Chain A
Amino acid sequence: MEYADQEKSPEPVQEQETKTDREHERILNEIETTDTAFIGASLRAVYEGNDHRKFLERLENRIKQHDRDIERMCNFHYQGFIESITELINVRTDADKLKAQTLIINKELQESGKEVARKSEDLIQSRLQQCNVASAIEKLTVCLPVLQMYAKMCEQMKARRYYSALKTLEQLEHTYLPRVYSYRFCDIMLTNIPKIREQIKEVSMSELKDFLENVRKNSHKIGMVAMKQVEKEHNLESPCSESTKQANPNQKQSTDDESAVEADRPTARIKPTQSETVKNHINTKKSKPTKLKQESKNTNQSASPKHRPRINPFDDLSDEESPVVMDNRNPFDEDTNPFGSETVEHNSNPFLDQESSDIPETDNSQQVNGYNPFAIEPLKQEPKSLLVDTTELLKGLNYEDLSASDLVDFSPVYKCLHIFGLVGSRAVFESYYRTQRKNQARLVLQPPAVMTDNTETYAQYFYQIVGFFVVEDHVLHTAPNLISRQFIDDLWDLAISKLVAVLQADSGYRSDAALMMNVKNLIVIFADTLKAYGFSVTRLFTLLMELRDQYGEILLKRWAQKFNDVFNEDNYTPMLVESESQEQMVLSSFPYEDPNFENAIYPKKLPFSKFVPRIYNEIKQFILACLKYCEDLHLSSTEVDDMIRKSTNLLLTRTLASGLQTLVQKPSLGLTELVQIIVNTTHLENSCRHVEEFVHSITGVRVGSAHSAKLVGVSTFKDARNGTESQIYNKLNSKIDEFFELAEYDWNMKEPRGRASRYLLDLIAFLQHNFEVFTNLPSNVAQTACMSACRHISTSLMELIMDRDIKLITMAALQQFNLDVMQCELFSNSEPVPGFQDGALQMSFVELRQLLDLFLSWDWSSYLADYGSGNSKYLRVNPGTALNLLEKIKEERGHRNIFTSLSKQEREKKKLLETVVRQLRGIVNDWSLLCVPRRKLSQSKRGVAKRM
């Protein structure tokens, strides 16, 4: 076109022409550039234009131009075309080669592709699997906590930690299970949960029952420990305990060991005395009971484990617990991991189980039980493990550090309490526990059938009760609100009234002081122990005061026996002291002061026999025994003093006095013994003030202070001595009687023998020798004895001669009798016992003497004349006696006169005799009328005499 333009440009001269030229040019361009379909418009333009020829020309030009262009172009590219074709032919072969090659490669590729395809298919499969696994893990991670919880619970169940099991169960139920509920095992779990709860309840209940049984079994041990602690405290308070402590070297050894162990430890606290720890123990028990457990735990832990491996079973349990839990906590542990190979074998895999759960439901529970961890395992009861072997425990231990929880595992109670609290039946449990314990209390309070046997039964009884209340106290303080103070106080009221009743009823049968003392000590310790636990024990102390009187009675009985033994064992011989040491010994046991004794040379002779120091010491022992009862009774010194004095006075006035009385009245007792008893009682009497001193030294209460009764020993011994003295007189008299039984008079004898009768000589000798021998008899007693003997002889002689059975007495017999009386007078004159007033002893025989004088001198006139007057020679001759004797003599005379003729003298004599008899009768009759005043009587007598 550019070309065309250049062609037209030379035609500008002609305007018209150019115009048409341009028009043609434009149409040609249009034809050249547009499609043939749209060529119509161009054609129309040509048609409408003018100059078609020009146009055709132009068209022709144009065609020519194009043909030239084409030709030129073809010429220009021909060589290249040829070359290209040639080249193309060359390329064609190469292309064929390439094609073959490609085919081979393709084939090869097809081959290898197949593998790849398979691999990729595998890959896809694997991918899918992976995906599945991932989702399984995801699901499992959700389920696993549930399973873990369940496993944990199972473990806890196995480990008997039911409370935590219950907690876990709850957690499981409320937190974990809701997250996953679509699984079958969850259903099983859900159905099992209440069952497990129920079971836990049952088990803990049965554990509680075991506990109750255990507590019942062990409460006496607890009580014993508690009481021993208090007792120990008591002992440490009193200085005498040192000796008891030393008496038990084993115990001391062990405490030493302990203290050594304590000292070894660097953190050892400053060693407190045992009593302090005990005290603290008790105090803390009372004030901070919750802390107590902690404390005891601490002490146990701090104590050397070698020495006491199993002191606190409670603590032990908890100590053991933790490692076990640690071990089992890992759910992937072989035993518990459900995925573990072993468990698969054991069929405990829950997935396997799900398969097996195709088995009908009914079978499930039974069959699965053994294997299914979700099933409720029947919990085996091992009550043995619950029971702490307390006996073994006690053997190797001191009592000091033990507390109630050391002896009994309280965990069941707490467990039960919590468990029942968790399951919401706490009230049921409370009432159950309370009724059980109430019943136990009744059982405990039931006294053993035979209490009187020995202390041990009492101790057991008390231990049981103490144990019961210690346990209750412990429960009260450690298990909040399980029992109330009110409940325990009610029980205590019940217990104390029962106990007091039992002891009162029982005390009537006791007769052994030692037992009584032991019982008293037990009661005191019992009371103090329970007091420390905050119970009111005033009634017990009242009871103790009641028992005191009884104890006093028993003591009195026992001392009566002791006194009796002393009396029986004594040799009633003055004690001989052979050496200074012996003297020291005797004088230390009995206060005796005598300058003569001190200055004497060995062997020294004490005036009294062994009986004196023994009785003296028995009295002291008695006082100490009384005092012993007062110990720990919290009495004031005046009360103690009052009691001791009262008891001692009873001992002296009742026991000792009656003992002495019985002693001196023993028929087998000889004069020797009686005399010695007199000496002994004198010395005992003197020792009374020392007894008084002794009481004072004990109680510190002075005699004479407002309410102290004076001891009445002096009067006791005085009475005893009086009794003994009269016994001596009786004894002597009975000996005299024995002699008189041997007396034989021939009242018909014609001629006196000229000497006193044998029996009388023996009697006098016997008396003489005895008075000679008993130099230790107090002189007044000896005098009285001698006097009484003489009087008795005199009376006996008088009785002999006045015997109604003797009808006739010859003058010769009377003379013989006179000889005997003279022998007696001789004896009385010989001063058998020194110290008599002149003639006092002889007075005994005066009546006999006057009577005999009257008869032997036949001095009736002066007798009758002086009768009644104060200066009569025959003042003491009773007219009745005289008459009695005269009639016997008269008979003799009359009798004799039958054979001889009566001389005047004889007749007068007989007449006189008859007159005398008559007059005497008169006097006797007057005498028998007694109402006659003495003066009148004497007048009438004088009248009689005048008539003679």
Chain B
Amino acid sequence: MSSGGGKTYDYLFKLLLIGDSGVGKTCVLFRFSEDHFNSTFISTIGIDFKIRTIDLDEKKVKLQIWDTAGQERFRTITTAYYRGAMGIMLVYDITNEKSFDNIKNWIRNIEEHASADVEKMILGNKCDMTEKRTVSKERGERLAIEYGIKFMETSAKASQNVDEAFFTMARDIKSKMDQKLANVPGNSAGNTTITVKSGDKKSGNLFSRWCTLL
């Protein structure tokens, strides 16, 4: 009853980074996936992704993080990825008022295109640039509270809070999923096409995997 070759993970979470162009989504992702920073601004064209496997409660969690282009012209492409995402990072630039204001629009986008129970998080990036800061941490926090989602200030350049943000996000998704899983055995979800076999020692994992097919 074994599935495919050597399976390397227990969970697969798909995350999505959104936010205005130039707020540092790619840099945050690059920091998280390669632990590196590139100061030249290369705007993302279309869509890209990175995969990093992290250890969470002794489980291997594979994070497939989609990096979207902030530019308006790629909006149709990028919104296509909202649906599959289990967690969405809304990134703004603390030195750019506009990008902060736009967070509201991005949240509206999420509400429109993503699944309802998607995990969200607001990241105020470039927090190393204190001299150019125009958006205070308090405002970020207030906004996050307003929407009832988590908030963090990060710096891809100084490597601050990047890992923490993703770990927090992954942990939240995992606990949400574990909770759901606990509820499942009683009433198997109607829209899943797979039944979990008792006796399959990896059934939980399997379930979680197929959850992504929502």
Which residues of A are in contact with B by a Cβ distance under 8 Å? 568-573, 668, 670-673, 675, 735, 738, 741-749, 753-754, 758, 762, 765-766, 769-770, 772-774, 800, 803, 805-806
Contact = CB atoms under 8 A, between A and B. Distances in A.
Interface of B: 1-8, 12, 30, 34, 36, 38, 40-49, 51, 62, 64, 74, 77, 80-81, 84, 193-194, 206, 209, 212-213
Given A570-B40, A670-B44, A769-B46, 12 more contacts: A568-B40, A573-B42, A670-B48, A672-B43, A735-B49, A754-B193, A766-B47, A769-B47, A769-B77, A772-B46, A803-B4, A803-B5
B42 A672 contact: yes
Contact of A758 (B8, B48, B213): B213
B51 A741 contact: yes
B4 A758 contact: no
B42 A571 contact: yes
A668 B35 CA distance: 11
A745 B45 contact: no
26 contacts: A571-B41, A571-B42, A573-B42, A670-B44, A672-B43, A672-B45, A738-B51, A741-B8, A744-B209, A746-B3, A746-B194, A746-B206, A747-B4, A748-B3, A754-B193, A765-B80, A766-B49, A769-B46, A769-B47, A769-B77, A770-B47, A773-B47, A774-B45, A803-B4, A805-B5, A805-B6
A598 B45 CA distance: 26
Contacts of A753: 193-194
A675 B8 CA distance: 32
Contacts of B77: 769, 772-773
Nearest to A757: B213
B4 A762 contact: no
A135 B160 CA distance: 117
A745 B3 contact: yes
A722 to B, nearest CB: 22
A772 to B, nearest CB: 7
B17 to A, nearest CB: 14
A671 B47 CA distance: 10
Contacts of A772: 46, 77
A743 B4 contact: yes
A744 B4 contact: yes
Contacts of B42: 571-573, 670, 672-673
A748 B1 contact: yes
A746 B194 CA distance: 10
A761 to B, nearest CB: 8
Contacts of B6: 805
A672 B4 contact: no
Contacts of A805: 2, 5-6
A770 B46 contact: yes
A571 B2 CA distance: 47
Contacts of A806: 2, 4-5
A754 B77 CA distance: 25
A358 to B, nearest CB: 98
B134 to A, nearest CB: 23
A43 B30 CA distance: 200
6 shortest A-B CB distances, which residue pairs? A773-B46, A672-B45, A753-B193, A769-B77, A758-B213, A746-B3
A755 to B, nearest CB: 8
B104 to A, nearest CB: 26
Contact of A668 (B30, B46, B84): B30
Given A745-B3, A745-B4, A671 B48 contact: yes
Contact of B38 (A668, A746, A758): A668
Contacts of A800: 4
Contacts of B62: 742
Contacts of B12: 742
A745 B42 CA distance: 37
A672 B38 contact: no
Nearest to B43: A573
Contacts of A741: 8, 51
A746 B62 CA distance: 19
Contacts of B44: 670, 672
Contacts of A569: 40
A150 B41 CA distance: 92
A766 B49 CA distance: 9
B45 A758 contact: no
B64 A742 contact: yes
A477 to B, nearest CB: 64
Nearest to B3: A746
B30 to A, nearest CB: 7
A762 B84 contact: yes
Contacts of A774: 45-46
Contacts of A568: 40
A675 B46 CA distance: 13
B40 A571 contact: yes
B74 A773 contact: yes
Contacts of B4: 743-745, 747, 800, 803, 806
B41 A773 contact: no
A743 B41 CA distance: 33
A744 B45 contact: no
B9 to A, nearest CB: 9
Nearest to A740: B4
Nearest to B197: A748
Contacts of B64: 742
A754 B4 CA distance: 19
Contacts of B46: 769-770, 772-774
Contact of B3 (A671, A744, A758): A744
Contacts of A762: 84
